[in-house]
Amino acid sequence: MTHKDLDNFVGFTAQMMAASRAIETEKADRLFNDPFASSLAKEEAFTFVKEKLTEQDIAYIAVRTRFFDDFLFSPEIKAKQIVILASGLDTRAYRLPWSSDIKIYELDQPQVLEIKAAILGDFTPNCEHHLLGVDLKQPWSDLLLAQGYQPNLPSVWLLEGLLMYLTSTEVHRLLQAIDLLTTADSYLGLDLVNVKSIEYKPYKGHWYSGFDSPEELLGQYGWTAQVFEPGQEGANFGRYTWVLPPRDVPDVERVFLVQARK
């Protein structure tokens, strides 16, 4: 899968994220250790990241990874089932210290998950691990339920680097599906861009939605959201040093890191 396969640029972005995590892992002051990332990302993804992404873009990916690593281990989260939508080449099932009663369900395009399964086949995940190849624009809840997901128990959901690739209608459909599968005491982590950022290079032409108020969007589905912008306290980790204008300043490209509770 290459970025020239334009029908599946979005699949290639999974490789870009893995390449960025491999670059971060090489740093002496790395924010996380992803020892699998370099074997998951092909050379072309490293080239794309180095040539097309800015230093700020790459720092954002590192900060986002660490932000959601920490979120998943928040002391208040007691849920044992974690659903990662659009997990791509995320290796959290392998690299984080889960207890054995944790179940992780990863959903992404079949061809992306096949790459991961093939390359990580010799390694053992630190949890009960399910890979589900799906198109998230189509109904997928029954497949998750068939794998043993319990909708009557609390759960944690992660949508990292996904929503911008969906239209606004598709985002609402996805949040509705999640709503039907979640109980009180469930948690949700996600990132999204604002409307002004939809045309942001190098993703121009591939991002379809932006939201200026994640609080309002998630509030419609019963979530209370805490919203961070990279660089802010709790979302810079000493790595994202760019300072953005306050949120009420209009006409600024923004990306939001969100953790929410139902």
Q: List residues binding ligand SAM (CB under 6 A).
A: 10-11, 13-14, 17, 86-90, 108-109, 112, 134-137, 160-162, 165
Closer residue to ligand SAM (CB): 110 or 231: 110
Closest contact distance (angstroms) between CB of 99 and ligand SAM is 23
- Per the structure block, which two tokens stand in for 100? 């054995």
Give ∠ CA 228-233-235 in degrees, rounded to 5: 55
Contact of 79 with 156, CB cutoff 8 Å: yes
Which residue, 135 or 199, is less far from ligand SAM as judged by CB? 135
If the CB atoms of residues 92 and 103 are measured against ligand SAM, the closer one turns out to be 92
Task: Identify which of 46, 48, 56, 52 has the alpha carbon closest to the alpha carbon of residue 26.
Answer: 46
| C-beta of residue 16 within 8 angstroms of C-beta of residue 25 | no
91/236 with CB nearer ligand SAM: 91
Helix (H, G, I), strand (E, B), or coil: what is residue 53? coil
Helix (H) or strand (E) holding 177: helix 168-180
Nearest approach in angstroms of CB 238 to ligand SAM is 21
Write down the least CB distance from residue 175 to ligand SAM, Å. Answer: 14
CB of 250 to ligand SAM, least distance (A): 27
Residue nearest to ligand SAM (CB): 88
